[in-house]
Amino acid sequence: MNVLVLGIDHEIQMTDAWRAAEMRAAYRALLTSKIQQNGIQFIGEEAPPAGQTVAQCLTVEFALQRPWRNIDMPERARRDAGIYDLQMERVPVRQAGTVQTHSDLGGFYLDVKNDSHLFCPRIPSDAVRENYMFDRALEGAGNATSIMVLCGSHHIGALAERFRAHQDNVMTDAVYNYGWYDPG
């Protein structure tokens, strides 16, 4: 299976997102181009439990082979797994110095463009959530041969590793790689 893991900003993924109209339009255009260029048949998305996402709408508009699926671990499942408090207590740390916005297996680095950056470290409970997301994506994909997984940038590398271990062909990308994106 071909898998595109796309790191997103949760503040632009909803159809009613508060971010600038230009950024929301560029995000929609990015998803549209990824669907068309990669023959996407299924989208699994780390999304809030309520509301409608842009990807959810595009799944219907493009009549994708498989229905959109929220792959995020619900609060109840996080509590049952004993990771809810750990996940909620993580706080990004402001650090001096400019770094290029990126994600790696140590965490997520966000350049806030004022000679500082935010670092959001990975914690062991992230793996529990990512296993859940991976399993939900595989279930939702069914017999699809090309899928797109939308997740917070924090999860790009770990989810890509899981799909590679599953013998899938994996590509990664993130909204922070595009000039229109502004973390705000």
Instruction: Give the whole-angstrom CA distance, residue 15 versus residue 52.
Output: 6
Question: In the predicted model, what is the mean pLDDT of residues 121-141?
Answer: 96
In this structure, the number of other CB atoms found within 10 A of the CB of residue 116 comes to 14
Find, among 92, 90, 117, the residue nearest to 102 by Cα: 117
Residue-wise pLDDT tens digits, 5-64: 999 999 999 999 999 999 999 999 999 999 999 999 999 999 999 999 999 999 999 999
Domains of the chain with bracketed CATH: 2-89+123-177 (3.40.50)
Find, among 148, 162, 180, the residue nearest to 46 by Cα: 148
pLDDT at 118: 87
Find, among 73, 69, 30, the residue nearest to 147 by Cα: 69
Find, among 163, 173, 152, the residue nearest to 30 by Cα: 173
Using the predicted structure, report yes or no on whether residue 156 has a pLDDT greater than 90. Answer: yes
Phi and psi at residue 92, to the nearest 5°:
-60, 145
Q: Which tokens in the block code for residue 73?
A: 């671990």
pTM summary value: 0.94
pLDDT at 93: 86
Alpha-carbon radius of gyration of the chain = 16
pLDDT at 90: 87
Check: CB of residue 75 under 8 Å from CB of residue 181. no
Spacing of C-alpha 152 from chain mean position: 4
Residue-wise pLDDT tens digits, 55-100: 999 999 999 999 999 999 999 999 999 999 999 898 888 888 888 8
Instruction: Give the whole-angstrom CA distance, residue 132 versus residue 63.
Output: 26
pLDDT at 104: 84
Buried b / exposed e along 29-53 (16+ C-beta atoms within 10 A): ebbeebbeeeebbbbbbbbeeeeeb
Residue located via tokens 């916005």 = 101
pLDDT at 116: 84
pLDDT at 66: 97
pLDDT at 91: 85
Instruction: Give the whole-angstrom CA distance, residue 81 versus residue 87.
Output: 11
